[in-house]
Structure 1
Amino acid sequence: MKRTFILTCLAVALQLTCFGQLRIPHVLSDNMVLQRNANANIWGWGYASTEVAIIASWLSDTVKTKVDAGGRWLAQVPTTQAGGPYELEILSAGSKITLHNILLGDVWLCSGQSNMEWGGNQQLQEILDELPHAKDSQIRLLQVSRTAADYPQDDITNSWQALSAESLKPFSGIGYFIAKRLRAELDVPIGIINASWGGTPAEVWTPAYIIENDPELRRLGAMQGDAPYRPKDAGVLWNSMIRPLTPFVLSGFYWYQGESNVGTWVGYDKLMRAMVTSWRMAWNAELPFYFVQIAPFAYGNELPLAALLREQQEMTAKTLPRTGMVVVSDLVDNIKDIHPKQKLEVANRLAAIALNEYYGVGKDKDYRSPLYKGHRTQGKSITISFEYLENGLQVKGDHITDLYIAGKDRVFHEAKALIKGNELIVSSPEVNDPVAVRFGFTETAMPNLFNKNGLPVAPFRTDDWSF
């Protein structure tokens, strides 16, 4: 009996020892990029009330903190200008963790569904062509594994990888090409985190309490059907793939999602505003959020639901601070394939917004697609004005396609247009008293109106009629 009691005590002591040992999350690993010129959070777990000392090879001073009563600790470690490689030592209660090959640079998080996720594993040719040349030691990748959780998690199972053909192949094509463009323009190390899952609605990336406490978002979220290839419950990917990253200091976010919310388009702007705000609150910073408007695709809906979702996305871009939207209506080679193959150009357009607005190093004024701003009726024509347009419009073809005009009868007729500076004058001989214009406002439209920089004009409508 006495021997059994002693063995039990030893087993409990061993368990407590293992539980209290110095640990850090997987996002803090060899090969990571820490945000330059910032206070980087370094955190983990250890024995309650013990001291933790952090020695960074780019600093002359040691940073110290204490493990709290719950066994957690966090310290802010100042980072300097871009550079490396460096080492980081963490010491506490006789234990030491050493992290190697660390760079100081900029870190961006990419998320969304399959168009953000796709890369070499999906035989994306642009990435397959890159594999033999994937040798830039200043680009680091963190691929977050697909996993869902009903409750908030503290850790992921993945660690940072130096760029190589092996690490790039399963990674986001868009994420990699963003990193490559930023590296070329900024000449600083770039870290990209990819936390994406094909087919997922935005609700799964949003904390569950936000969806559950809003009747409209809860009702729309409940409309998501079951599917064997992805989760649908609110918050389950926020819990497991985003929340564990939130102490890690970032530059900002990139997002490509929306296809799985076409059927619930009516609440998409509200959902995105809630999701982006929750992410910013979790990081305690109004980080930039740049995203892709969904591409043309033959959804087969009776009403143009995809066009209505694009309209919601544009609303978010216009009204939520520090956001930016790229339009990809010209980058589709097959409207029956929901995965357009041109990811390099999508990434360049996303990177261009960051270069101009976050970094302030861009040179081209028209780095965003023109968005509908307003209109005025003049006799038999309607004049359209645009935001994000300074150097004028151009048509790639003989006439503007997917452009329609209607009178009070709400019957739309194919229209012609005259470009006058930064405005578009729209008319039709069949409409004497025009009241509304629609441009590219279908699920599959690929119009041919661009700014002088070659970026497509975003689809729009001047009316708010129900179809």
Structure 2
Amino acid sequence: MRKPILLVITIFCLAVSVKGAVRLPSIFSNHMVLQQNAEVNFWGWAGATQYIKIVPSWSKDTVTVRTDGYAKWKTILKTPKAGGPYTITFIASDNRIVLEDVLIGEVWLCSGQSNMVWNSLNKHQEMLDELPNINNDQIRILHIPNVSSLNPQDDLKASWKTASPESIKGFSSIAYFIAKKLQKELNVPIGVINSSWGGTPAEVWTPEAVVNGNLTLKSYANLQKPAISRPHTPGSLWNAMIYPLVNYRIAGVYWYQGESNVSTWQGYSQLFSNLIQSWREAWGYELPFYYVQIAPHDYKTGTRHLSALLREQQTMVLSLPKTGMVVTTDLVPDIKNIHPEKKIEVANRLADLSLVEIYGKNKIDYKSPVYDRLEVKGDRIIIHFKYLNNGLSIKGTALTDIYIAGSDGNFQVAKAIVQNNTLVVSSKEVKKPVAVRFGFTDIAMPNLFNSNGLPVSPFRTDDWSN
């Protein structure tokens, strides 16, 4: 009987000895990057009523915080301008934790489905070519493992790593190439977080209450079918792969998703807008949110062109402040491959949005032009665009994928000419035109670009059901 009694005593003594031990979420680790010139949150656990002292090596001040009745604590540290490496020491009554090799710089979250996931393990050639050359300790990565939950989680299993050929294996190609471009242009440390899961609809990344609290969103969410490869329950990835990150200060979000919502395109602009707004509410500030319009692909939707309608829904989300959209109609060598190879260019276009709008870099026509309005002048329609400064250009002898129709809704192949920042569209078959469609099919890859070589976003000027 003595051994069980001794075991109980030993366990009791161990429990007493660690009652004041401080613990941190796993995302607070060696090699982490903190947002520069900001008030960044730190939080964790310790014994109830325990005091924790926090000593950042960039400051002469010690921050002291006390746990609440749930044995949790949370506080704020002020970060300086970009630099490092630094240490951060957490001291409790029974232990201390020292985080080493901490950098101060810019932190971005990358999320979405498989085109954001795509990496060297998927035999992505651009990344396979890049791997041997990766040697930049100013780029740090945090890879969030695929896990779902029906309830919000307060931690996950992930830690920061310095970019290297080994650590980047299996890490998002787009996320890495974004970090590479930002680091080169800004010359500060860059931390990039990859939290993505292939095949997932936007509903699983949106808080459950937001989806199920809206009859329209709930009705479309109910159309998402179970699959062995991914979750489909609203909020399940928000709970497990985003919520644990919410207090971590970030500069903004890059997003590539939409393919799994093609069949429920009607509700996507409302769903995605709600996703963005709910993330902003959770973080407590207006996160810049830059996203990719889904690429041309043969979804086999026939004449319904459902992915064109989804792209239109994505374009509508630009009405939200601090958003931007990358168009990819020129980056698809194979319409049967839903994972286009050219991830570097997608990453560069995403990075350019933030470089101009967040970091003040001077770039002209850094956004793809988007349809604004039309003018009908006799037998011609003049199309005006947003985000266009230095004119349009047609690559080739004639504009492709452009159609015009009269009030009968019968679209005819059209001719178009560029006049400065407008497009003049006409057809001998249509004497009294009322509508234009451009690149508005599942697989269209039209040849109209701005002065910076960015493709014009596909559009339609009508709202007809045909």
- Are 1:297 and 1:337, in contact at CA under 8 Å, matched by a contact in 2? yes
- Are 2:20 and 2:93, in contact at CA under 8 Å, matched by a contact in 1? no
Query: Which residue of structure 2 aligns with residue 211 of structure 1?
Result: 211
- Are 1:20 and 1:45, in contact at CA under 8 Å, matched by a contact in 2? no
- Are 1:20 and 1:71, in contact at CA under 8 Å, matched by a contact in 2? no
In 2, Cα distance between equivalents of 1:170 and 1:17: 40
| Mapping for residues 111-130 of structure 1, pairs under 5 Å | 111-130=111-130
Q: Detail structure 1 runs of 4+ shifted over 6 Å in the superposition.
A: 1-7
- CA deviation after TM superposition for structure 1 residue 21, in Å: 2.8
SS in 2 for 1:129: helix
1:337 maps to amino acid: N
| Percent identity between the two aligned chains | 52
Asked if residue 465 in structure 1 is aligned to residue 461 in structure 2, the reply is no
Query: Which residue of structure 2 aligns with residue 422 of structure 1?
Result: 421
Asked if residue 351 in structure 1 is aligned to residue 343 in structure 2, the reply is no
Query: Which residue of structure 1 aligns with residue 182 of structure 2?
Result: 182
| Mapping for residues 250-399 of structure 1, pairs under 5 Å | 250-302=250-302, 303-317=304-318, 319-361=319-361, 363-399=362-398
- Are 2:379 and 2:433, in contact at CA under 8 Å, matched by a contact in 1? yes
Asked if residue 82 in structure 1 is aligned to residue 77 in structure 2, the reply is no
Query: Which residue of structure 2 aligns with residue 456 of structure 1?
Result: 455
> Given the two structures, how large is their TM-score scaled by the length of structure 1?
0.97
The unaligned stretches of length 5 or more in structure 1 are none
In 1, Cα distance between equivalents of 2:202 and 2:151: 17
- CA deviation after TM superposition for structure 1 residue 337, in Å: 0.4
In 2, Cα distance between equivalents of 1:275 and 1:19: 39
- CA deviation after TM superposition for structure 1 residue 19, in Å: 6.9
- Are 2:54 and 2:88, in contact at CA under 8 Å, matched by a contact in 1? yes
In 1, Cα distance between equivalents of 2:182 and 2:448: 28
In 2, Cα distance between equivalents of 1:419 and 1:132: 45
SS in 2 for 1:432: coil
SS in 2 for 1:90: strand
SS in 2 for 1:140: strand
Q: Deviations over 1:243-269 (max 9, x none)?
A: 001111000000000000000000001
Q: Deviations over 1:144-175 (max 9, x none)?
A: 00011111101110100001001111111110
- Are 2:20 and 2:94, in contact at CA under 8 Å, matched by a contact in 1? no
- Are 1:179 and 1:192, in contact at CA under 8 Å, matched by a contact in 2? yes
1:195 maps to amino acid: S
> Given the two structures, how large is their TM-score scaled by the length of structure 2?
0.97
SS in 2 for 1:424: strand
Return closer, same or farther for 1:12/1:212 CA change in 2, 3 Å cut-off: farther
In 2, Cα distance between equivalents of 1:208 and 1:327: 29
SS in 2 for 1:244: helix
SS in 1 for 2:111: strand
- Are 2:150 and 2:236, in contact at CA under 8 Å, matched by a contact in 1? yes
- CA deviation after TM superposition for structure 1 residue 20, in Å: 5.6
1:434 maps to amino acid: P
SS in 2 for 1:383: strand
SS in 1 for 2:437: strand
- Are 1:47 and 1:93, in contact at CA under 8 Å, matched by a contact in 2? no
Query: Which residue of structure 2 aligns with residue 412 of structure 1?
Result: 411
- Are 2:202 and 2:261, in contact at CA under 8 Å, matched by a contact in 1? yes
SS in 1 for 2:371: strand
SS in 1 for 2:341: coil
SS in 1 for 2:324: strand
2:103 maps to amino acid: L
- CA deviation after TM superposition for structure 1 residue 365, in Å: 2.0
SS in 1 for 2:180: helix
- Are 1:206 and 1:234, in contact at CA under 8 Å, matched by a contact in 2? yes
In 2, Cα distance between equivalents of 1:264 and 1:135: 43
SS in 1 for 2:106: strand
In 2, Cα distance between equivalents of 1:353 and 1:17: 52
- CA deviation after TM superposition for structure 1 residue 133, in Å: 1.0
In 2, Cα distance between equivalents of 1:225 and 1:417: 43
1:309 maps to amino acid: L
Q: Deviations over 1:384-421 (max 9, x none)?
A: 00000010000011100000000111100000011111
In 2, Cα distance between equivalents of 1:21 and 1:168: 33
- Are 1:112 and 1:196, in contact at CA under 8 Å, matched by a contact in 2? yes
2:369 maps to amino acid: P
- CA deviation after TM superposition for structure 1 residue 224, in Å: 0.6
Return closer, same or farther for 1:243/1:347 CA change in 2, 3 Å cut-off: same
Query: Which residue of structure 2 aligns with residue 156 of structure 1?
Result: 156
In 1, Cα distance between equivalents of 2:179 and 2:234: 30
Return closer, same or farther for 1:159/1:3 CA change in 2, 3 Å cut-off: closer
- CA deviation after TM superposition for structure 1 residue 63, in Å: 1.0
Q: CA RMSD in A?
A: 1.5
